[in-house]
Amino acid sequence: MTPIHEDEHLLVLEKPSGLLSVPGRGPDKQDCLSKRVQAIYPEALIVHRLDQDTSGLLLMARGIEAQRRLSRLFETRQVKKRYVAVVAGHPAQTQTAQTPDDEGWRTIDGPILLDWDRRPIHIIHPDGKASRSRWRLLDASDTATLIELEPVTGRTHQLRVHMQSIGHPMLGDALYAPAPVRALSPRLMLHAQSLAFAHPFTGEAMDFSAPTDWSAHAPHGQFTEEPTMTFEAFKQQALAEGFDEVLERTWEPGAVLDTHTHPFAVKARVTAGQMWLTQTDASGKSQKRYLTAGDEFTVALEEPHAEQYGPEGATYWVARKN
């Protein structure tokens, strides 16, 4: 997993929807962003989390001291986080009694409590922890609204619970949306779009953004599936690019290939399992990549590289140019 920013103290990454931030309970919940990152950056430590179904920006520390300083920034609310979401209906019509501020922001206050009998569901309850979110309208259609959100506090599922509490759950939300709203999107329509903070070591202003193309009028249009790649299609594409031979390779679980070279160039597409590829350029600098089904990679003629395969091994289609 390649960071969108890295320095000697921290990493900024973009987590896809459906991937855990940290390992869960059980062998089927061990694949997560933190483990993928630590395979490349062993010193990386988690600082905050995103829900499994939420996509977007996530910050990791490189070392204990960086983790301590970054955690302090979160604890003292010195990290500005902004999200975008598509919600059902028109929340501006629900909160008519509240006048938005000069920048269009409205506020939702509601103490949040874990519903122990229905965990992990959280609810608004007088005994819950004080929680505040801000939101403002970006785009609206007849049935949905694209909004920007800012969590003032940081409770579990806070933005999802607050929008559901005023009658406007997020599309695709498996926990808080009724079935008809859940069915409107193949994923939770919540994305951590921006992070801003002062660098914990240098004081430099850091501001990162991972924009989406979401719209209230076509909220899940970006999820239109691309045609499934077949081996024959990959083969024909590779031959058209001048490759000579195309075949399928399968590697055993845990296989390791130390640094080596090939007397041919390679283009490959992973179709199953997971692997780590370390490539070394002419200056001697190495880069390690995590690859899983759907990812493609290339290796140049005589380029030094090493391979390591995951607990299920890996299969890929590979084209060679002799």
Give the residue numbers marked as catalytic: 51
Q: C-alpha angle 188/192/194, rounded to 5°? A: 160
Per DSSP, the residues of 57-112 read EEEEEESHHHHHHHHHHHHTT-SEEEEEEEEES-HHHHSTTS---TT--EEEE--E
**114 strand-pairing partners:** 122
Q: What share of the chain is helix, strand, coil (3-state, %, to 5)?
A: 15, 40, 45
In the 8-state DSSP scheme, what is residue 228?
P
Asked if 276 contacts 307 with a C-beta cutoff of 8 angstroms, the reply is: yes
In the 8-state DSSP scheme, what is residue 226?
P
Asked if 12 contacts 195 with a C-beta cutoff of 8 angstroms, the reply is: yes
Residue type, 167: G
